[in-house]
Amino acid sequence: MNAWRLLLTRPAEESAELAATLAARGIYSSSLPLLRIEALTESVEQRAVLLELQRYCAVIVVSKPAARLALALLDRYQAEQPWFSVGAATARILREHGLRVYYPEQGDDSEALLALPQLQQALTAAVAPQVLILRGEGGRELLADCLRGQGARVDYLSLYRRLLPEYPPATLPQRIAAERLNGLVVSSGQGFTHLHELAGHDWPRLARLPLFVPSPRVADMARAAGAQFVVDCRGANAAALLAALQAQPAPDL
């Protein structure tokens, strides 16, 4: 049996999938979802963008929730251009709908996507490239800024918002203590922000636990907030987490 005992913080369905993968490797995990996805009501602005979907040379989907919500709308609109995703799991959802989707096989972040040859080809093939990014409210601007720097016009279509589920006070430290958890896992910057918020005054103690994060950006966020043992998995997928766990000995608590 593996010595790691992890707290998973992804939305419930994604945590269940990750927990099953970990369990198959003998790794104990406990799920406390720190992201609740709330779909935005379809607006006039959304419909206007989707009605003119064909004017975009590329559509970029940044998350699995964005993919699922986009597919619920797409039956009413044509989508013949190449689609792009940050990771394989998002691409798989889109491909099941019959879309032509590309994603970086090494790394699942904006930087890896920007280096994807198929995305560069889509931009250079268009006389006046226009790109649509499907995402939740807010989020990083790096992707859009870099695309604009390459001469593309970039539009956003927000499909959902991320909320922190409501939990009774002290839920987080009580769960960690009761189940003797010795590692925390977050899959995004928003996930870490919610972890830090839910920890409250217990954060200085929890900050001593190993914290597994998906990217250098989230690692920097965590260290700036006082996390003492941050492991950058260089990816948010299960394979990246498993590789990081294998490389790090579990602490004795």
212, 241 contact by CB (below 8 A): yes
The CATH code for residues 38-162 is 3.40.50.10090
Q: Decide which of 3.30.420.40, 1.10.8.60, 3.40.50.10090, 3.40.50.1820 is the CATH code for 5-35+167-247.
A: 3.40.50.10090
Predicted local distance difference test score (pLDDT) of residue 49: 86
pLDDT at 1 over 80: no
pLDDT at 253 over 80: no
Predicted local distance difference test score (pLDDT) of residue 44: 86
Predicted local distance difference test score (pLDDT) of residue 127: 87
Predicted local distance difference test score (pLDDT) of residue 202: 96
Predicted local distance difference test score (pLDDT) of residue 74: 77
Predicted local distance difference test score (pLDDT) of residue 77: 64
Predicted local distance difference test score (pLDDT) of residue 201: 95
d(CA 214, CA 162): 18
pTM: 0.82
Q: Tens digits of per-residue pLDDT, 200-243?
A: 999 999 999 999 999 898 999 999 999 999 999 988 889 999 99
Predicted local distance difference test score (pLDDT) of residue 246: 94
Domains 5-35+167-247 and 38-162 share a fold: yes
**Domains of the chain: which residue ranges?**
5-35+167-247, 38-162
Sign of CA dihedral 118, 124, 126, 129: positive
Q: What is the mean pLDDT of the chain?
A: 91
pLDDT at 88 over 70: yes
> Is residue 159 very low, low, confident or very high in pLDDT (cuts 50, 70, 90)?
very high
DSSP 34-77: --EEEEPPP-HHHHHHHHTGGG-SEEEE-SHHHHHHHHHHHTTS
Residues 175-186: what's their mean pLDDT? 97
Q: Tens digits of per-residue pLDDT, 22-80?
A: 999 999 999 999 999 999 988 888 888 888 888 999 999 998 899 999 888 876 666 77
Q: Which burial class, exposed, middle or buried, applies to 113 when counting CB atoms under 10 A from its CB (0-12, 13-18, 19+)?
A: buried
Residues 113-137: what's their mean pLDDT? 92
